[in-house]
Amino acid sequence: AQVAVDVSVDTTKAGPKIERTIYGQFAEHLGRGIYEGIWVGPDSDIPNINGYRKDVIEALRKIKVPVIRWPGGCFADDYDWRDGIGPAAKRPERMNKFWGGVPETNAFGTHEFMNFSELIGADAYVAANMGSATPRDTAQWMEYMTASGTSTLAQERRANGRDKPWTVKYIGVGNESWGCGGEMRPEFAADLSRQFGSYARLHASGSFRVASGGSADNFNWTDVMMDRAGKIFDGIGLHYYTMPGDWAKKGQATGFTEREWAVTLRNAMALDGMITRHEAIMDKHDPKKRVALVVDEWGTWYDQEPGSTPGFLYQQNTMRDAEVAALTLNIFHRHTERVKMANIAQMVNVLQAMILTDKGRMTLTPTYHLFDLYAPFQGATPFPAMVSGPRYVLGDVDLPMVDASAAKDANGKMWLALVNLDPKKSARVTTNLTGKAQGRLLSATAMDSHNSFDKPDAVKPVAYSGRMTGGKLVFDLPAKAVAVVAID
Ligand code: AHR
């Protein structure tokens, strides 16, 4: 039997638009995220476009990635940009101390990243090293990338193959400065950010600058950073990872229990309340809401796949991950006054990835399909979607059974997303909307259904529609499913 749920969209209350950049991605020098995942080099047997995997490029273009954060993460604060320019054969080899201690060849550097962003039509969000470099390093990196004149750094860029300056639309100053980025106190990090931020501005004047933010419920970090450095930044970061367990034992990516399913979804939804509290702190310092909240790392984090290289953070990706992505994006849609950018961790082969690769093979994850389904929300205008009906209850976990998001795109077309959190019961969703509703549905036979290299299509979207019943649009929403429809 279906459970009756009502969804009511208030079309009189348009919110600030959903910035496309909320659909941003994060690509760190970590595990097989860059090397193998994106970059195989021009001499590889794997089909490539100037060294970039052709299959990955084509898949990323399809989901309209608006912005990519690079080179880290923790890696960013141990990175010297000079290592990654000039002839590849002459670039120094370093150790990637944060992630497995493996050799970092620097084959993928500034040119390779900036050209990659251009190739998939994304803007660049470059994370500058505040943990172990100087403001001068940041200033010179920005000058190298963006100077149009005859300065030695601009000439060096040209000699390395790039005549036209690049646009560095977003600059991050440090990463997790409270942790891997220098173990700083918020007061010190805020003061240092002012110094680094001002030199970044000097050489990349139009860039949107983001200060390194706190993690999850570290509200004091937001408070101190806003108080001391808020005025000179355009955004302040926030990192939030979702896991069924804790940092010591996070839980498995597949083969999990219903309790782990429920706890994971509960933890994903907890971000809503945390954002509300960070926003209230920001409002205190910035009542005009000039400074954005930038959730520049988010996603699921499980114990890495058995047998995979330690420190590489390689994990499978299931229907549960697609639900986490849908719930998180719905949260961002509800906080568009402040949340202007977000970057899921991470793009390929790392944590909640869009894409997994195995040598020449590639598979698209349920999270990829979810981003594909949600692409029409990029740049759309959100409207509140109220859900009423039974809840999904399991032990002490008590969640709404259905979550919803509604927004109108630039052509005035209404889009509705419906998420069924219950892994066993289907819902009959009655809305206050009318018309013809057509779109796609992502659902699965098991909670941990996923795509493998042998079965790459186990979880993929199918055509879906609603129907008019009693003058209202009604949807049959299967258990553990996400539907996105356009309403004409
Ligand atoms: O995304 C993996 C790591 O998680 C990042 O490098 C770091 O910023 C965070 O702790």
pLDDT of 305-319, one tens digit each? 999 999 999 999 999
Query: Across 230-289, where does the E strand assignment appear?
Result: 235-242
d(CA 122, CA 124): 7
**73 upstream amide cis, omega within 30 of 0:** yes
d(CA 28, CA 79): 11
Sign for the CA dihedral angle at 90, 53, 156, 201 comes to negative
pLDDT over 80 (residue 157): yes
- CA 71 to ligand 1 center in whole angstroms: 11
| Inter-residue contact 360 to 455 (CB < 8 Å) | no
Q: What is the residue with the minimal CA distance to atom 6 of ligand 1?
A: 73
| Total-model pTM | 0.98
Q: What's the average model confidence in pLDDT over 416-438?
A: 98
- CA 7 to ligand 1 center in whole angstroms: 37
pLDDT at 437: 98
pLDDT digits 0-9 by tens, 245-296: 999 999 999 999 999 999 999 999 999 999 999 999 999 999 999 999 999 9
pLDDT at 102: 97
First to last CA, the chain: 29
Q: What is the residue with the minimal CA distance to atom 3 of ligand 1?
A: 73
pLDDT at 203: 85
Give the angle subtended at the CA of 179 by the CAs of 196 and 206, to the nearest 5°.
30
Catalytic annotation, pick one of 297, 305, 323, 337: 297
pLDDT at 201: 87
Q: Which CATH superfamily is domain 3-10+383-487 in?
A: Golgi alpha-mannosidase II (2.60.40.1180)
d(CA 304, CA 311): 8
> How distant, in Å, are the alpha carbons of 29, 37, 129, 308, 400 from that of 172?
16, 23, 9, 30, 36
Our answer to whether residue 305 is catalytic in this structure is: no
pLDDT over 90 (residue 132): yes
Question: What is 20-379's CATH number, 3.20.20.80, 3.40.50.300, 1.20.210.10, 2.60.40.2310?
Answer: 3.20.20.80
The residues that bridge with 417 in the sheet, in sequence order, are 405, 484
Question: Which protein residues touch ligand 1 with a CB less than 6 Å away?
Answer: 28, 72-74, 175-176, 297, 345-346, 351
Nearest atom in ligand 1 to 297's CA: 1
Catalytic annotation, pick one of 36, 104, 143, 176: 176
pLDDT over 90 (residue 91): yes
The preferred substitution site among 25, 29, 74 for testing ligand 1, maximizing ligand atoms within 8 Å of CB, is: 74
Nearest atom in ligand 1 to 98's CA: 6
Whether ipTM > 0.95 holds is yes
Give the angle subtended at the CA of 385 by the CAs of 436 and 23, to the nearest 5°.
90
Q: What is the residue with the minimal CA distance to atom 9 of ligand 1?
A: 73
The preferred substitution site among 178, 297, 298 for testing ligand 1, maximizing ligand atoms within 8 Å of CB, is: 297
- CA 367 to ligand 1 center in whole angstroms: 19
Q: What's the average model confidence in pLDDT over 133-161?
A: 97
Closest CA to 126 of 19, 22, 229, 26: 26
Q: What is the residue with the minimal CA distance to atom 8 of ligand 1?
A: 73
- CA 157 to ligand 1 center in whole angstroms: 30
- DSSP per residue, 41-83: -TT-SS-EETTEEHHHHHHHHHTT--EEEES-SGGGGG--GGG
d(CA 70, CA 99): 15
d(CA 453, CA 365): 10
pLDDT at 205: 83
* Both structure tokens of 188: 């010190």
The preferred substitution site among 28, 96, 315, 347 for testing ligand 1, maximizing ligand atoms within 8 Å of CB, is: 28
Q: To the nearest 10°, the Cα dihedral for 142, 144, 145, 150?
A: 120
Q: Do domains 3-10+383-487 and 20-379 have the same CATH topology?
A: no
- CA 5 to ligand 1 center in whole angstroms: 38
Our answer to whether residue 260 is catalytic in this structure is: no
pLDDT over 80 (residue 1): no
Nearest atom in ligand 1 to 179's CA: 10
- CA 23 to ligand 1 center in whole angstroms: 18
Nearest atom in ligand 1 to 241's CA: 4
- CA 425 to ligand 1 center in whole angstroms: 36
Specify the pairing of strand 437-443 against strand 481-487.
Answer: antiparallel
d(CA 365, CA 346): 12
Q: Where are the domains of the chain?
A: 3-10+383-487, 20-379
d(CA 245, CA 258): 13
Closest CA to 364 of 376, 347, 389: 347
The preferred substitution site among 176, 212, 298 for testing ligand 1, maximizing ligand atoms within 8 Å of CB, is: 176
* Residues 6+ positions from 149 with CB-CB distance below 8 Å: none
Whole-number average pLDDT of the chain: 97
pLDDT digits 0-9 by tens, 102-117: 999 999 999 999 999 9
Nearest atom in ligand 1 to 346's CA: 1
- CA 77 to ligand 1 center in whole angstroms: 11
